[in-house]
Chains A and B, each alone.
Chain A
Amino acid sequence: MAGPVSVAAEYLAGSRARAARTVLGQVVLPGEELLLPEQEDAEGPGGAGERPLSLNAGARSRVRVVCGPGLRRCGDRLLVTKCGRLRHKEPGSGSGGGVYWVDSQQKRYVPVKGDHVIGIVTAKSGDIFKVDVGGSEPASLSYLSFEGATKRNRPNVQVGDLIYGQFVVANKDMEPEMVCIDSCGRANGMGVIGQDGLLFKVTLGLIRKLLAPDCEIIQEVGKLYPLEIVFGMNGRIWVKAKTIQQTLILANILEACEHMTSDQRKQIFSRLAES
């Protein structure tokens, strides 16, 4: 009675665990287990004969692998928690193993330490500002975390201002905290974002796509007319151009480019360049 059930379970479990290497670039669903390259060798047939000889044959040297967003550690394997495409990045230098992550799409932002985000100041209470970053709770920003701020020299921040800062504390147990200063004490472009302009919301995947080093959209947009853009990893973009019309055009382009093919985009840009 217990026999066939356990056999079925084992079969299912065995068939679900695929090698991470073979699934790169393909769509993975939550609940799948992925094998790392080292385990593949062990579980493949005829291990000792095919494996290359290592210096210390006894202790198999393991490489540190980083599992990024969308993946969790499950024993020795990776467990997928979001649906999307599996990606891998080779390590540049030094520590090996590389990074695996799932390229997924979502609109809801979850604060992550180190992310640069655009926040809106909602309240000023005592020494801290409450900043809405689009997460489950507002982040706290101390007035001393601005460049050149001292107890006597307070920064000029009002309720309703836009702030570009990064998270120093962001986990599920604590209230997120952000600062507008880096570890050396310099602002590096963080702080209150200037007057005017337009803030709008897009999906998180689009932000990452636009911030990629070889993004054509940004290069083309930059050729249109003088403008300024600030990208927040929480899905918020702030744009500013010389006239309101230009600003609105820019906002529309950025919102729409997510669902356009590159040909449609080029058509729109050429039409804009003419007008």
Chain B
Amino acid sequence: MAAERKTKLSKNLLRMKFMQRGLDSETKKQLEEEEKKIISEEHWYLDLPELKEKESFIIEEQSFLLCEDLLYGRMSFRGFNPEVEKLMLQMNAKHKAEEVEDETVELDVSDEEMARRYETLVGTIGKKFARKRDHASYEEDENGDIKPIKTKKMFLKPQD
């Protein structure tokens, strides 16, 4: 009876996963290839020569935004709608900023002077908010520059 049943197993049944677990890897590969062959033969394809898609250097656009620089559509004049006036400045400035990227902003105060001012500013404001004990760290030098802050003495744990 068992021998009869063995021979009657259909191909589809044999192709199922649980039946293939016992097979070797080689036989598995063969079965897969056969399946692929069957699928590819049934696949329809166009019997045409391979057409290379020509790389087109012309892009089609139907929008006027690329062509002409248009201003923002909402406008308000003489303070009729202050929010819209703010928006106008924003949107048109954004638009102009994109065009003029190379121009650097002219500085009124040079970078070096700014750095010097900030250096002293930090000390003077810091002095204002420092407590009495911290005033020691804000002692001024002969030149009027603030001395570098000394490291605080922490409690040293005895090693024994």
Interface residues of A (CB under 8 A from B): 36, 62-69, 71-73, 76, 78, 87, 89, 92-93, 97, 99, 101, 110, 112-116, 164, 188-189, 208, 211-213, 218, 221-223, 225-233, 240-242
Chain B neighbourhood of A71, CB < 8 A: 60
Tell me which of B56, B75, B76, B99 has the highest count of chain A C-beta atoms within 10 A of its own C-beta: B75
Tell me which of B58, B75, B87, B91 has the highest count of chain A C-beta atoms within 10 A of its own C-beta: B58
Pairwise interchain contact A113-B63, C-beta atoms closer than 8 A: yes
Contact A226-B80, Cβ < 8 Å, known A211-B71, A211-B73: yes
Give the CA-CA distance A12 to B9 in the complex, in Å: 75
Is B52's beta carbon under 8 Å from chain A? no
Smallest distance from the beta carbon of A200 to chain B beta carbons, Å?
15
Pairwise interchain contact B58-A208, C-beta atoms closer than 8 A: no
Is B155's beta carbon under 8 Å from chain A? no
Point out the residue from B58, B70, B79, B99 that lies within 8 Å of A67, measured CB to CB.
B58
Pairwise interchain contact B73-A164, C-beta atoms closer than 8 A: yes
Chain A neighbourhood of B71, CB < 8 A: 211-213
Q: How many A-B residue pairs have CB under 8 A?
A: 119
Interface residue count on the B side (C-beta < 8 Å): 31
Smallest distance from the beta carbon of A83 to chain B beta carbons, Å?
17
Contact A189-B67, Cβ < 8 Å, known A230-B73, A231-B73: no
Q: A227-B76, A228-B75 are in contact. List 5 more A-B contacts (CB 8 A).
A: A65-B58, A69-B61, A69-B62, A71-B60, A227-B80
Pairwise interchain contact B57-A211, C-beta atoms closer than 8 A: no
Tell me which of B62, B74, B76, B80 has the highest count of chain A C-beta atoms within 10 A of its own C-beta: B62
Smallest distance from the beta carbon of B73 to chain A beta carbons, Å?
4
Please classify the interface of chain B as helix (H, G, I), strand (E, B), loop, or mixed, using the class held by over half of its residues: loop
Give the CA-CA distance A188 to B67 in the complex, in Å: 22
Pairwise interchain contact B58-A89, C-beta atoms closer than 8 A: no
User: What are the nearest 8 A-B pairs in CB distance?
Assistant: A222-B77, A226-B78, A226-B80, A211-B70, A231-B73, A62-B57, A73-B58, A228-B76
Give the CA-CA distance A12 to B80 in the complex, in Å: 59
Pairwise interchain contact B68-A233, C-beta atoms closer than 8 A: no
Instruction: Give 15 CB contacts A-B under 8 Å.
Output: A66-B59, A66-B66, A71-B60, A89-B67, A89-B68, A99-B61, A112-B64, A189-B84, A208-B70, A212-B70, A225-B78, A227-B76, A227-B80, A228-B76, A233-B64
Smallest distance from the beta carbon of A174 to chain B beta carbons, Å?
14
Pairwise interchain contact A64-B76, C-beta atoms closer than 8 A: no
Is B10's beta carbon under 8 Å from chain A? no
Give the CA-CA distance A65 to B60 in the complex, in Å: 9
Give the CA-CA distance A212 to B99 in the complex, in Å: 15
Pairwise interchain contact A67-B84, C-beta atoms closer than 8 A: no
Tell me which of B56, B63, B69, B79 has the highest count of chain A C-beta atoms within 10 A of its own C-beta: B63
Is B72's beta carbon under 8 Å from chain A? yes
Point out the residue from B57, B77, B101 that lies within 8 Å of A64, measured CB to CB.
B57
Give the CA-CA distance A189 to B66 in the complex, in Å: 21
Pairwise interchain contact A189-B74, C-beta atoms closer than 8 A: yes
Contact A208-B60, Cβ < 8 Å, known A228-B80, A230-B73: no
Smallest distance from the beta carbon of B107 to chain A beta carbons, Å?
25
Point out the residue from A62, A218, A223 that lies within 8 Å of B75, measured CB to CB.
A218
Smallest distance from the beta carbon of A101 to chain B beta carbons, Å?
5
Is B104's beta carbon under 8 Å from chain A? no
Chain A neighbourhood of B76, CB < 8 A: 227-229
Pairwise interchain contact A208-B77, C-beta atoms closer than 8 A: no
Chain A neighbourhood of B12, CB < 8 A: none
Pairwise interchain contact B77-A115, C-beta atoms closer than 8 A: no
Tell me which of A63, A67, A189, A213 has the highest count of chain B C-beta atoms within 10 A of its own C-beta: A189
Pairwise interchain contact A226-B58, C-beta atoms closer than 8 A: no
Contact A228-B84, Cβ < 8 Å, known A64-B57, A67-B61, A68-B61: yes
Pairwise interchain contact B77-A188, C-beta atoms closer than 8 A: no
